[in-house]
Amino acid sequence: MGTFDLPKLPYSYDALEPYIDAKTMEIHHSKHHQSYTDGLNNTIDNKLMAKENRKKGIVELLVNLDQIRPELRDAVNFHGGGFYNHDLFWKNMSPDGGGKPEGKVEDEINSSFGNFAKFKKEFSDKTAAIQGSGWGWLVYNPENQKVEFITMPNQTSPITEHLVPLLGLDVWEHAYYLKYQNRRPEYIEAWWNVVNWKEVDFRLSRAETLAGIFSEY
Ligand code: MN3
């Protein structure tokens, strides 16, 4: 047992069928997410890591990456980002998902992007265009108090840039290749059918300050 445990999926592996297939979910969670968890634990257990950092939660580690020794910083960024991002990714989806955002998140999306259709197109197009592996994100920026779209490379989490992640889409090939092969845009289009807007709205309601997400772990 390491410091961090693989977070449980909030539904069964086949719950997001037909949009995301059970085999992809099983491998993605039980192998890929597990390997980020193991990589994070191995890094935390490294005796080069300062004792006070070993006691920090994942959000605190990622927000304060500059306090990690340079030799370990990349590993915390990669494995810690993978550990954290995937947990959000599972929560960001639901078998009862899809449809449109409502409430505050709808208002904020309209304010930043014009309307939901424009937001969806920008999110889809720019996430599909990520070169290599990475994620598309809807984030809350505490500095201008707006929601924004960004892409991040590999497993680097928006938290490391002090942006609050609200909705993330993993476009590593392991997230879709079994079912969609090279057709990333088709995977993205299908994914909108499982987006858990209630969760996104809940995250926004707590995102007013970055401190609002410190209580997660
Ligand atoms: Mn992944």
Q: Which strands sit side by side in the sheet containing 164-170, from one edge to the other?
A: 146-153, 134-141, 164-170
Residue 169 CA, ligand 1 centroid: distance in Å: 9
pTM, to two decimals: 0.95
Helices 81-91 + 34-44 axis angle, to 10: 140
- How many whole angstroms from 85 Cα to the centroid of ligand 1? 8
State the distance from the centre of ligand 1 to the C-alpha of 28, rounded, in angstroms: 6
Contact in structure between 119 and 125 (CB atoms under 8 Å): no
pLDDT averages per 10-residue partition of the chain, 217 residues: 89 98 98 98 94 92 94 98 98 97 96 98 98 97 93 97 95 98 98 97 82 58
* Residue 169 β-bridge partners: 136
Instruction: Give per-residue pLDDT as tens, 124-153.
Output: 999 999 999 999 999 999 889 999 999 999
- How far is residue 125's CA from residue 188's CA, in Å, rounded to a whole number? 9
The angle that helices 103-113 and 116-128 make with each other, rounded to 10 degrees, is 70
Candidates 38, 34, 31, 39; CA nearest to 75 is 39
Q: Cα of 21 to ligand 1 centre, how many Å?
A: 14
Tell me what pLDDT residue 206 has.
86
Please report the pLDDT score of residue 160 as a whole number. 95
Q: What is the pLDDT of residue 2?
A: 75
